[in-house]
Amino acid sequence: MENLTFLMHIYVFVLAIFVGFELITKVPPTLHTPLMSGSNAISGITIVGALLSAGLEQFTISTILGLVAVIFAMINVVGGFLVTDRMLKMFKKKK
Amino acid sequence: MQAIIEITYLVSSIFFIFGIKYLGSPKTARKGNLFASIGMFMAIVITLFDQKVLTFEWIIIGMLIGSLIGAVLAIKVPMTGMPQMVGMLNGFGGGASTLVALAEYYRINPNYPVDQGLVFNLPIDQGVAIILSLLIGSVTFTGSMIAFGKLQGIVTGKVVKYPLQHPLNLLLLLAVVGGGIYLVINPGTISLVLIIVGVSLLLGVLLVLPIGGADMPVAISLLNSYSGIAGSTTGFVLGNNELIIAGALVGASGIILTLIMCRGMNRSLMNVLLGGWASAGSAPTTAGDVTSVKGDVKSVDSEELAMIFDSASSVIIVPGYGMAVAQAQHSVRDLMNALEKKNINVRFAIHPVAGRMPGHMNVLLAEANVPYDKLFALEDINDDFPNTDVAFVVGANDVVNPAARHDQSSPIFGMPILNVDYAKTVVINKRSMNPGYAGIENELFFGTNSLMYFGDAKDAISKLTNEIKNL
């Protein structure tokens, strides 16, 4: 059973890669930087794992690692989304 | 409850997918970013309801500190500092993945913190996932920090070569793989885990250090991709589909950008990663080698140049990294406005690898209020140069070197360039005659229709704009 779960994860991974390629093939160069910083913020999804480690019942080394991971991931998430929005606000068409 | 959590993760993943989709068009990009952040918010909140999360004080402290640092960075960073910012954020994502994988390893090890002599059965798939997370996450972390340092000017932006570069890196990678295999068989060896992390961190430094400044667009996009893949492998460690999906999306987008950047330089990914053009970083070509292109360089002053612009009806401005260094984007905007007032058609031609990250020029010009529909990609504007009166090159060099079209001995031969030399007049603003990143002379400067306009981009262009206004 264990291996079957793993295969299901591989499944999801491969399909998501394809979705990713399909979504991004036609991005205009103008948006390359915001796309990068925005998608970078999404990679901060590791925050989920960090929360699970930092919230463990007993205080162990995992809690400390989790705490630092929460800080790192939150910098990534908050910084990434905010800076992307700041950039995108500037992109204007000719009036 | 677990079912509700899983469903929320699914909905959050869908928000990410739409977020990235909308980020692909200027009209919807802001909405896309909002969608993605809503997805993230959902994922964070629902995770707090997970039964494994039992204490909240550390979570709250960590989230406050992280959010505060992230927000301050995002608000304070100037647009010219954007490449560094993106580089650094990549690194934090990778670092977080390493830490989570490490924390999970300690958590499932029954002999930690006290050795109870218990058998530690680490399933092979989870073991492999942990090692990959440690490797990719660590390489992303230190690699991004070096990239940040190079862009910030703390670490040299030059191509750095060190002895036995490739054998050494290969050896380190093999050490991680070998250590990883040993660890999967003997999962209890904690010291080995730390060695794997240490070697991976070192590998990140050594891999990015040789990459030169103008190759940074490739390095940054690749690290962006790594940070996503690290998120995915962490998802495998935790058995969490949302991490796998979100990480894969980012990984794919990073790879695509990386390939676009490589194509923009007509170089393979390997070539970029292994460190620079053949001649880059070596001494600039000696005068003897370039006699074939040596001719007369015609220099022009602002007054004369203003008249040339005044009699033009179409102008294409070609910005490069020099514009970013001089922070001349606002002066360039003023020039555009002055020209448009005289009913001169002004457009911008943006080379895919101009600057230090994908889309660097576009961000700077957007900051200066240049509408994005005036910015054209290489393939959309290159055929228009022959019908253009003035092509104005601001701080770009290698990407406008005609040698790339015909000189097979040139290191940049085959690279797609902007054909500015086909315009009736080419004006090149540069501080001096120094060669660009590739370290080669640019025959464009000696062309019969070329005029050099020397000076710091910001001052020189402001002066030019004033002259034009006074005509």
Q: What is the ipTM of this complex?
A: 0.95
Cis ω for the linkage preceding B319 (within 30 of 0) = no
Confidence of residue B388 (pLDDT cuts 50, 70, 90): very high
| CA neighbor of B381 nearest in space, from B359, B412, B351, B349 | B349
| CA neighbor of B95 nearest in space, from B142, B131, B130 | B142
Q: Which residue is it, tokens 């007049």? A: B425
Same domain, B312 and B391: yes
Same domain, B229 and B318: no
C-beta atoms of B20 and A20 within 8 A: yes
Quote the minimal CA–CA distance from B443 to chain A in Å.
28
Task: Report the alpha-carbon distance of residue B88 to residue A37 in Å, rounded.
Answer: 10
Is B74 part of the contact surface with chain A (CB cutoff 8 Å)?
Answer: yes
Same domain, B225 and B331: no
Sorted by where each begins, the domain ranges of chain A are 28-90
Of B66, B257, B358, the CB nearest to A74: B66
Same domain, B109 and B240: yes
Q: Say what the pLDDT of residue A2 is.
A: 56
A13-27, B87-101, B179-193, B289-303, range with the lowest pLDDT: B289-303
Quote the minimal CA–CA distance from B37 to chain A in Å.
7
Same domain, B115 and B189: yes
Same domain, B448 and B315: yes
Cβ–Cβ under 8 Å, residues B401 and B390: no
Residue B42 counted as domain residue: no
Considering B273, B299, B315, which residue would you say is the last residue of a domain?
B273
β-sheet with B390-394: strand ranges across = B375-377, B345-350, B314-319, B390-394, B425-430, B450-454
Same domain, B462 and B322: yes
Task: Report the alpha-carbon distance of residue B454 to residue B460 in Å, rounded.
Answer: 8
Domain count, chain B: 2
Same domain, B300 and B410: yes
Of B67, B244, B373, the CB nearest to A12: B244
Beta strand pairing status for B345-350 and B375-377?
parallel
In this structure, the number of other CB atoms found within 10 A of the CB of residue B471 comes to 12
Same domain, B265 and B295: no
Same domain, B267 and B321: no
Active-site residue list of B = 398
C-beta atoms of A78 and B71 within 8 A: yes
Considering B273, B297, B315, which residue would you say is the last residue of a domain?
B273
Overall average pLDDT of the B386-411 stretch: 91
Residue B281 counted as domain residue: no
Is A19 part of the contact surface with chain B (CB cutoff 8 Å)?
Answer: yes
Contacts of B446 (CB under 8 A, 6+ apart): B293, B294, B295, B296, B297
A40: chain B residues, CB-CB within 8 Å: 86, 89-90, 93, 224, 227, 250
* Residue B434's CATH number: 3.40.50.1220
Residue B48 counted as domain residue: no
Confidence of residue B294 (pLDDT cuts 50, 70, 90): low
Considering B249, B273, B297, which residue would you say is the last residue of a domain?
B273
pLDDT digit string (tens) for B193-246? Answer: 999 999 999 999 999 988 887 888 889 999 999 999 999 999 999 999 999 999
Contacts of B134 (CB under 8 A, 6+ apart): B98, B101, B102, B193, B196, B197, B200
Residue B167 counted as domain residue: yes
Distances (CA, A) of A82 to A88, B423, B443: 10, 41, 43
Same domain, B263 and B330: no
Overall average pLDDT of the B163-176 stretch: 89
C-beta atoms of A19 and B17 within 8 A: yes
Is B4 part of the contact surface with chain A (CB cutoff 8 Å)?
Answer: no
Same domain, B111 and B260: yes
DSSP structure class, residue B196 = H
User: What would the two tokens of residue A95 be?
Assistant: 């009036």
Contacts of B433 (CB under 8 A, 6+ apart): B297, B445, B452
C-beta atoms of A40 and B44 within 8 A: no
Range of the domain at B446: 287-470
Task: Report the alpha-carbon distance of residue A36 to residue B338 in Å, rounded.
Answer: 33
Chain B (6-45) residues lying within 8 Å, Cβ to Cβ, of chain A: 16-17, 19-21, 23-26, 29-30, 32-34, 36-37, 39-40, 43-44
By CA distance, what is B229's nearest residue in A? A43
B219: chain A residues, CB-CB within 8 Å: none
| CA neighbor of B305 nearest in space, from B465, B135, B128 | B465
Q: Say what the pLDDT of residue B275 is.
A: 61
Cβ–Cβ under 8 Å, residues B260 and A76: no
Helix (H, G, I), strand (E, B) or coil at B450: strand
